[in-house]
Chain A
């Protein structure tokens, strides 16, 4: 098979490419240049797409013995991922840019171009498993729960999965590092990338302020009483506890959390942990890994990257997914994806629009 290996310059994608080559596939490595103004060097463990990362990817391709190219997707990435990220925050929502990148860039722009150029599939270093069954391809969680990335791949459809390979899903990360060292890949000890790749210093509030400017407003409680002020609703995420800078402590002395963000009114509503609890959610833009469900589902749901699973029932109605939690859940942020699982299998995903609270709010 002719496969295109997306190589970030990190250890995972290097081993993924090496495994495909070893399995006898005709592998071509491609580094996706996603930054409009690539920096020369990585800063700490953050970011990607520096010139140094491109070089690391190239050296890995040399060691594996495959051709290597760089594809410039900076404008596409900016339009589909970075602008979406900023717009979502501006709308009071909390986006997941990695998921968006998989949906719009890696398994859309890159995959389409690869197929057009005569490749059969795209291979990445994501930690997830693809299982072929009589009825089609299934996406499953990786065996290493700490590294599982099925959540950010939950947007992939059958057609996309049919042209994808995730060769690392069956292996714990520690073994991948050992394997990289054994294969002579110099990226074996390279730190994992964290956070958001296009925010090099990891300071998301500062990045958003630079993009959106200041839009001061009030911090209020669920009854609408003013507790403090903020410089812009985009600095907040539902469930956030730190950095609220409220002068007066709560009457009960308990910590307060962000419950709701209203960019139009410029208010950030805060409340207790109890008030944060939600009983269900409504999500839109569903993507199903297989046929869309016709009846109510008993499933588990993951509500954010690296979040725990919760038991739910879910039903699809007019392209909206209504999810009810068996036990109240906390920190459910509009804009994030809800990914539904049947055991380790991904059923599908949708973008959270609104939540149903235990304690009704006035906001």
Chain B
């Protein structure tokens, strides 16, 4: 049985991280209560109080005003609301605004709405290049805007890449866009709890947050939207959230979300130090053990918990299978369709060839990670890579 296999080493915190005990407690305390936060009676007021206190907690932790926090069902919905909401609102004010500037390493929750706007709404998608470390250059953003500022709808660049962990100069990008009065969205899903994130200081107009990536529950997140930023509603109904997002508010999940944000932000400085130490051990150990291994992404400007490594001459999914059989849980990095790993668009955008892109693994650390996890990886990685290399690339798909 799967459940009886050892499950000691979980190194896929960027996919989802275990809920913090305090968040579980806050959420479960609410689950037994009745009350729709939009109801006017006592039960409704109690639920509303939970929601509003949570909103205040999240706003305070992220450097935003409470009224700027729009709860959603998670990161994907927040990204969709940001992109489509900004698109329609900006276009309504000026029909020339048809250019969307975004990096090629955005998460699919950003890429796909942008491409959809291109296919269905006449948006003109302009890809901001990234260098071989996965960094967007502010100069490229300036150049792209300056050639015709009046036709830019908005700019979206993530805070930190979910695959290779590279941090992006979002503050600089926001400052450049602000010179032209152009709104900026950033997907901060991977960054919060890992690096300091202050919405007001960043100067962006909208920022995506997801609960389950920082120790909160699944199915809840937020789009932090500047008070003066106009968004067109995407999901229509009761208009619960600032009239741009409808749907009954999930008070228990929001309560757990708030506690998770508070704790992860509070613990961030210490955790960042601790995780950086463990991560560097992992990276250096793997590089010392496996000749063909290379680190992907920025060696310095990266998420403390991210180690993304490519291994020559083997398939990432062979590595994953072999590590999984040894109870070590990692990721090949990218989203899947029917469970099929496509070569990562992030790595391809960074100029990797197909083979190197397919032979990569992402190890991501989080609050439950410990020295034992790193030791387990370093003990197993040598034989695992050797075996995966013997299975090679030739048997699989694109490499024949």
Residue total for A at the interface (Cβ-Cβ under 8 A): 28
**How far apart are B335's CB and chain A's nearest CB, in angstroms?**
13
Contact between B339 and A58, CB atoms less than 8 A apart: yes
Chain B residues 378 to 400 lying within 8 A of chain A, measured CB to CB, are 387-388, 390-392, 395-398, 400
- Contact bitstring A36-64, B, C-beta under 8 A = 1, else 0: 00100000000000010011001000100
Contact between A70 and B338, CB atoms less than 8 A apart: yes
Set of chain A residues within 8 Å of B337, measured between Cβ atoms: 38, 51
Contact between B397 and A72, CB atoms less than 8 A apart: yes
Contact between B1 and A117, CB atoms less than 8 A apart: no
B52 within 8 A of A: no
CB within 8 Å for A38 and B338 given contacts A76-B395, A117-B387: yes
Chain B residues 297 to 325 lying within 8 A of chain A, measured CB to CB, are 317-318, 320-322, 324-325
B147 within 8 A of A: no
CB within 8 Å for A65 and B2 given contacts A76-B395, A112-B395, A117-B322: yes
Contact between B321 and A73, CB atoms less than 8 A apart: no
Set of chain B residues within 8 Å of A33, measured between Cβ atoms: 338-340
- The 10 residue pairs across chains A and B that have the minimum distance between CB atoms: A70-B339, A116-B391, A75-B397, A65-B1, A54-B338, A113-B395, A72-B340, A51-B338, A109-B395, A116-B390
Which of B317, B396, B397 has a CB less than 8 Å from the CB of A69?
Answer: B317
Chain B interfacial positions (CB closer than 8 Å to A): 1-3, 5, 317-318, 320-322, 324-325, 336-341, 387-388, 390-392, 395-398, 400
**How far apart are B324's CB and chain A's nearest CB, in angstroms?**
6
A28 within 8 A of B: yes
Set of chain A residues within 8 Å of B390, measured between Cβ atoms: 116
Set of chain B residues within 8 Å of A28, measured between Cβ atoms: 321, 325
Set of chain B residues within 8 Å of A54, measured between Cβ atoms: 338-339
Chain A interfacial positions (CB closer than 8 Å to B): 28, 31, 33, 38, 51, 54-55, 58, 62, 65-67, 69-76, 79, 109-110, 112-113, 116-118
**A-B residue pair count with CB separations less than 8 angstroms:** 74
Q: What separation, in Å, do the CA atoms of A348 and B194 have in the docked complex?
A: 62
Set of chain A residues within 8 Å of B400, measured between Cβ atoms: 75-76, 79
Which of B317, B324, B388, B397 has a CB less than 8 Å from the CB of A76?
Answer: B397
Q: List 9 A-B contacts (CB under 8 A).
A: A38-B337, A62-B2, A69-B339, A70-B339, A70-B340, A72-B341, A112-B395, A113-B396, A116-B390
11 A-B pairs besides A38-B337, A71-B396, A76-B396 with CB distance below 8 A are A31-B339, A33-B338, A33-B339, A58-B339, A65-B3, A66-B2, A67-B321, A72-B341, A112-B391, A116-B390, A117-B321
Set of chain A residues within 8 Å of B388, measured between Cβ atoms: 117
Q: What separation, in Å, do the CA atoms of A118 and B387 have in the docked complex?
A: 8
Set of chain A residues within 8 Å of B3, measured between Cβ atoms: 65
Set of chain B residues within 8 Å of A62, measured between Cβ atoms: 2
Contact between B392 and A116, CB atoms less than 8 A apart: yes
